[in-house]
Homo-oligomer: A and B are copies of this chain.
Amino acid sequence: MKTSNEIESCNYCIYKKLLFDSLNDKEYQEVNNSRTEHIYSRGEIIRKEGDPINSFLYLRSGLIKLYKTNKSGKDHILSINKPGDFISLLSIFSNSVYKYSITAIEETKVCEVELQSLQKVIVSNSAFALRVLNRMSNVSDDIIESQFEIRQRQVKGRIAYFLLFLADRIYHGREFRLPITRREIGELISMTTENTIRTLSEFRKDGIISMDGKIITILDYDRMQSISKTG
């Protein structure tokens, strides 16, 4: 992890509109003065389940995964998040430690604001508080939603759902580089690595996707959607 010496201005940050718009100058200074920026490279752990929470984190650029590790040491990915999503969940108000681990799956820039400063501003500015809550609850709701969608499908449908998630919500295009390994896809959709690979290969053989290592192109979008719905 690298901490930037020169802090970037928030003027062009997506969070400017999403969040900080409702702050007055003094409040903004309070937040900004306690704000630091950190850059994590692919694979670096940002926070571990059980780490103490003493700051509020949001993702400025890059991509992260939220996951939990079970007693056997197996990871289960809860969600993949992009800029605009919060990293900190609501636990920052209730739990003293992180309930989930967070790892960068691409080079990722994270903004960190000390919890004390955030709380000060939240108490004084209820419009801001509402926005923070709003965003945080979205993260939880999205996790619950996607788990709901995953659990009612079988392998093919799960893979299709995941590929469409990447195409539509993350990369906004039909060709992209898989940000995670095939093992991790398995950890996300609750399947073994082998079956994940087998299903991707089937999609390739059936002409639904083309695949070159991690580069995936969705060739038949309609069929993919149909598999995601029915599978």
Q: Give the interface of A toward B (CB within 8 A).
A: 68, 70-71, 74, 76, 78, 89-91, 93-95, 99, 122-123, 126, 129-130, 133-134, 136-138, 140-141, 143-145, 147-148, 151-152, 190, 229
Contact = CB atoms under 8 A, between A and B. Distances in A.
Contact of A74 (B123, B136, B141, B152): B152
Contacts of A89: 137, 141
Nearest first, the 10 closest Cβ-Cβ pairs linking A and B are A90-B137, A140-B140, A94-B134, A123-B126, A93-B133, A151-B190, A147-B147, A94-B137, A70-B152, A68-B148
Contacts of A126: 122-123
A66 to B, nearest CB: 10
A93 to B, nearest CB: 5
Q: Is the contact region of chain A dominated by helix, strand, or loop, or is it mixed?
A: helix
A93 B190 CA distance: 32
A152 B72 CA distance: 10
A162 to B, nearest CB: 15
A76 B148 contact: yes
B74 A138 contact: no
20 contacts: A70-B148, A76-B148, A76-B151, A89-B141, A90-B137, A90-B141, A91-B137, A93-B134, A94-B134, A94-B137, A94-B138, A99-B145, A122-B126, A129-B129, A133-B133, A136-B137, A140-B144, A143-B144, A144-B144, A144-B147
A216 to B, nearest CB: 25
Nearest to A144: B143
A78 B147 CA distance: 10
